[in-house]
Amino acid sequence: MRSKPKPGSNLHSSAWMASIPVFVIALMTLIWPPSAVEELPDPALTQNSMEAASWIVRAPSTDAVTFEALAEEVLARGGRVSHRLPIIRAVAADLTTDQRQALMADHPEWNWTPNQRLEVASGSHNVPGTAYPAQLEVDELHDMWIDGWDTTVAVVDTGLWMHRSLTRDPWNQYRIKDTYNALQDRSWPVHDRHGHGTHVSSIIVSSDLNGETGGYNSIAPFADLVVVKAFDDEGSSTYADVIRGIDWVVARRESLDISVLNLSFSAPAITFYWQDPLNLAVMEAWRSGITVVTSAGNLGPDPFTIGVPGNVPYVVTVGALNDNRTPQQTDDDFLSSFSSAGPTVDAFVKPEIIAPGSHILARISRGSLLGRTYRDRFEGKYMSISGTSQSSAMVSGIAVLMKQVEPWLSPDDLKCRLISTARAAADAQGEPAYPPYQQGAGLADAMTATFSDEQGCGNPGLDIVADLADTQHFMGPVRMAEDFSFFIEDVGYPWDGSLATGGFPWIDANPWLDANPWLDLDANPWLDANPWLDANPWLDSQGSAPMDPAEIAVSINVWVDDNN
């Protein structure tokens, strides 16, 4: 264990989309009969019978079969097992159409999911850097020696550039607890040749000092780090590789004392949350006692664009704030237009909170793919990148600080405190400036959340044990009125600034009880106007004065748009 130095140093909409997204069509086939909606083709139907495709094969949770038994069955049919995924009692296997059909005939109860690919989209902004530690008021926490000491965060991403500011804390003590390459199923190498993972990790733990303020250029500069490389040098991965990485983290939660898991990536949701293998792995991580923070995605501002695993109702999903290139001025801040918006297709309010996610400066290697591609986007030793990936990294850092103060906090309690202390954007009349499906509870407030004593508001009405056992699933509180406007069932509309995060038992029917949400694509779900037109000020809880913007956002994508 590293020794703690003595205190005393300053080192310290928009309208609906013009066409229905593919994932919505897929979900409609699950909710309405094929006669009402054209079914998507089975991936196997486009596969040559002799050509192998990768599938994630999982037995129902109520079945006693083990993942080892699944592997034996696949091998017996001539398939190749590429990944053993005990966290969800599944395997990833390469199977021809004939092999898969034979297995399906023998085991019709098994669940089959294409081993989808995940991508890290790259981009950046050449703009003045934002002083996000000061914006989030974490610099004040640092002055109180709340700096991440003796707390561990795991980052599943493209790896890490082994720069001193990332591998060592401000007192030059080595902070990398362990590493794992999920692509090759071994501990090494985890060097980041893409850049995304380094940028995200830098926001969380960099030990660099800010030359202007004297504070740190990160949220938790003294935290320990566990590096999991699950994306390749091009920023690409598969469900199976990411699940294997999460499995490795959960298996070592106690031995490495992992408190927080950062997942700054997002894939399109193509099914209900409880049917997605990646989501099931994330839920297992949450149940194990790890606070999971994930990005909302960069497909906004349209509704129903929250990706996987941000659509998991239990985890903390983060959207992005734009400080309008004036980090010291808060009354012109607005939501980043790329930040994905809810509700989810399961009717949950997402994201829960937001944080700065536009033009964020952090460490990155000039030799990485992003560094070589965007050489003109560097400002000194830092590169400016936008995305909900950067926002989620900030919230992960805040979660680390909260766990340092109260290590016994459960993930549900930590989520409760983050939500209950966030500050919603309000207009001049004190009314919410954005619907909860875009801003959640509002901007994260690191100082207030760290010293909050709120309990019981994290995931009310939900039961993760029953969910994972496949005995009960849940839908969120969002409903749709006849005029196609959204409202929260247990709050009503207009929204009063509170956030409903609970769920209701799934009733095996369309969660949009009052209307078909995809029936009229010309209807504006945001009621009155485009919420992005006005840069509404973020006001304090009394709605009377500008507040300091907090930082939280999510997404493994990096947005490329110099207007944001």
Contact 212, 165 (CB under 8 A): no
Q: How does residue 374 score in pLDDT terms, banded at 50, 70 and 90?
A: confident
**Between residues 78 and 525, which one has the greater pLDDT?**
78
Q: Which of 83, 142, 147, 157 is catalytic?
A: 157
pLDDT of the residue at 121: 46
pLDDT of the residue at 537: 28
How far, in Å, CA of 222 to CA of 71, rounded?
A: 42
Q: What is the Cα 269 distance to its own chain's centre?
A: 13
Q: What is the mean pLDDT of residues 496-502?
A: 66
Say if residue 29's pLDDT is above 90: no
Residue appearing with tokens 């009402």: 36
Lowest mean pLDDT among 171-185, 257-271, 366-380, 450-464: 366-380
pLDDT of the residue at 327: 54
Q: What is the mean pLDDT of residues 157-174?
A: 96
Q: What is the mean pLDDT of residues 132-150?
A: 90
pLDDT of the residue at 209: 85
Q: What is the mean pLDDT of residues 310-316?
A: 96
Say if residue 254's pLDDT is above 90: yes
Q: How does residue 63 score in pLDDT terms, banded at 50, 70 and 90?
A: confident
Quick one: what percent of the chain has pLDDT higher than 70?
73
Long-range contacts at 17-26 (CB < 8 A, ≥ 24 apart): 17/302, 17/521, 18/521, 19/521, 20/518, 20/521, 21/268, 21/304, 21/305, 22/268, 22/270, 23/268, 23/269, 23/270, 24/304, 24/345, 24/518, 26/270, 26/271
Residue 267 burial class via C-beta count within 10 angstroms: exposed 0-12, middle 13-18, buried 19 and up = buried
Q: How does residue 387 score in pLDDT terms, banded at 50, 70 and 90?
A: confident
Q: What is the mean pLDDT of residues 455-475?
A: 92
Say if residue 12's pLDDT is above 60: no
**Between residues 437 and 448, which one has the greater pLDDT?**
448
Q: What is the Cα 382 distance to its own chain's centre?
A: 23
Q: Which CATH number fits domain 132-450: 3.40.462.10, 3.40.50.300, 3.40.50.200, 3.40.640.10?
A: 3.40.50.200
pLDDT of the residue at 332: 60
How far, in Å, CA of 175 to CA of 335, rounded?
A: 34
pLDDT of the residue at 423: 83
pLDDT of the residue at 464: 96
Say if residue 23's pLDDT is above 50: no
> Does the active-site annotation cover 467?
no
Q: How does residue 522 score in pLDDT terms, banded at 50, 70 and 90?
A: very low
Q: Which of 125, 142, 196, 473 is catalytic?
A: 196
pLDDT of the residue at 50: 66
- Residue 140, SS3 per DSSP: helix
Q: Which of 14, 237, 389, 452 is catalytic?
A: 389
Give Cβ neighbours of residue 260 (< 8 Å, ≥ 6 apart). 151, 152, 153, 154, 290, 291, 292, 293, 396, 399, 400, 403
> Does the active-site annotation cover 534?
no
Say if residue 371's pLDDT is above 80: yes
Q: How does residue 505 score in pLDDT terms, banded at 50, 70 and 90?
A: confident
pLDDT of the residue at 280: 97
Lowest mean pLDDT among 58-72, 194-208, 252-266, 321-335: 321-335
- Residue 240, SS3 per DSSP: helix
Say if residue 38's pLDDT is above 90: no
Q: How does residue 324 score in pLDDT terms, banded at 50, 70 and 90?
A: low
Say if residue 514's pLDDT is above 60: no
**Between residues 39 and 255, which one has the greater pLDDT?**
255
Domain at 47-115, CATH homologous superfamily: Peptidase S8 propeptide/proteinase inhibitor I9 (3.30.70.80)
Q: How does residue 336 score in pLDDT terms, banded at 50, 70 and 90?
A: confident
Q: Where are the alpha helices (DSSP H) in 168-293?
A: 196-205, 239-251, 253-256, 277-287
**Bridge pairing between strands 316-322 and 334-335:** antiparallel
**Bridge pairing between strands 486-488 and 478-480:** antiparallel
Contact 454, 355 (CB under 8 A): no
Q: How does residue 328 score in pLDDT terms, banded at 50, 70 and 90?
A: low
Lowest mean pLDDT among 43-47, 75-79, 387-391: 43-47
Quick one: what percent of the chain has pLDDT higher than 90?
49
Q: What is the mean pLDDT of residues 448-467?
A: 93
Average pLDDT, the chain: 78
Q: What is the mean pLDDT of residues 541-553?
A: 26
**Between residues 417 and 46, which one has the greater pLDDT?**
417
Q: What is the mean pLDDT of residues 38-46?
A: 35
DSSP bridge partners of 186 = 181
pLDDT of the residue at 144: 95
pLDDT of the residue at 510: 54
Residue closest to 261 by CA, chosen among 365, 403, 135 = 403
Maximum mean pLDDT: which of 38-47, 70-79, 301-310, 506-515: 70-79
Residue closest to 299 by CA, chosen among 477, 556, 500 = 556
Task: Sketch the domain layout of the chain as residue ranges.
Answer: 47-115, 132-450
Lowest mean pLDDT among 70-79, 130-139, 470-479: 130-139
Say if residue 402's pLDDT is above 90: yes
pLDDT of the residue at 20: 33
Both structure tokens of 305: 């664009």
Q: What is the mean pLDDT of residues 503-518?
A: 56
pLDDT of the residue at 323: 65
How far, in Å, CA of 429 to CA of 441, rounded?
A: 18
- In which region does residue 288 sit, left (phi positive, over 0), alpha (psi from -120 to 50) or beta (all else)? alpha
**Between residues 273 and 19, which one has the greater pLDDT?**
273
Give Cβ neighbours of residue 319 (< 8 Å, ≥ 6 apart). 296, 300, 335, 336, 339, 340, 341, 351, 353, 354, 355, 357, 388, 391, 438, 439, 440, 552, 553, 554
> Does the active-site annotation cover 196?
yes
Q: Where are the alpha helices (DSSP H) in 335-434?
A: 369-373, 388-405, 411-421
